[in-house]
Amino acid sequence: MTGPEQRREWMGRALAVAAGAAPTADVPVGAVVYAPDGTELAAGRNERELTGDPTAHAEIVALRRAAAVTGSWRLDGCALVVTLEPCTMCAGALVLARIATLVFGAWEPKTGAVGSLWDVVRDRRLPHRPEVYAGVLADESAALVRRFFRGPDSQGDPDRNGAASPGRDRGAR
């Protein structure tokens, strides 16, 4: 189990990873996987636009990298920290990876699968259910996504506020 200070520190790191998306067209979401002893194993940010891979959400990127570091898909005892509530794909992946603790920042009412639309990680039919801490640095996490969608030139440009932009009309992912 992690304490509130550690969760905030870890989320700060995930926010820094998310900010790395600034020069790309990807939504700024960051994820970090921590080993059971609290050391960072891997980090990832959204890379869908960068790579053309529809599965390249921050959580998936970080989980893949952590599995490569450990040499196992089983990330028993590890924590996943992500700036935005995971979608169904990412929630399913973290359950299957045996993540022990999920920490996330902002809620995602359009695609969230950790309580907003669905609650995949707490489904009693699944063999593994992580401990969940929601809303850690939620305001900072939400502000990063809001800035992305509003952008510096959003006034008068319908594409910058999501109305007609490819990849930006279906929620934050």
**Residue found by looking up tokens 């169904």 in the block:** 88
Q: How many residues does the chain have?
A: 173
Q: Map residue 19 onto helix, strand or coil.
A: helix
Of the candidates 47, 59, 85, 108, the residue annotated as catalytic is 59
- Which is it for the CA torsion 89, 95, 98, 104, positive or negative? positive
CA distance linking residue 147 with residue 28, whole number of Å: 9
The reply to whether 47 belongs to the active site is: no
**C-beta separation of 126 from 98 below 8 A:** no
- Residue pair 172/108 in contact (Cβ under 8 Å)? The answer is yes
What would the two tokens of residue 79 be? 């924590």
- Tokens for 117? 């639309």
Residues 6+ apart with CB under 8 A from 138: 105, 106, 107
* Rg value, the chain, Cα: 15
Return the active site residues.
59
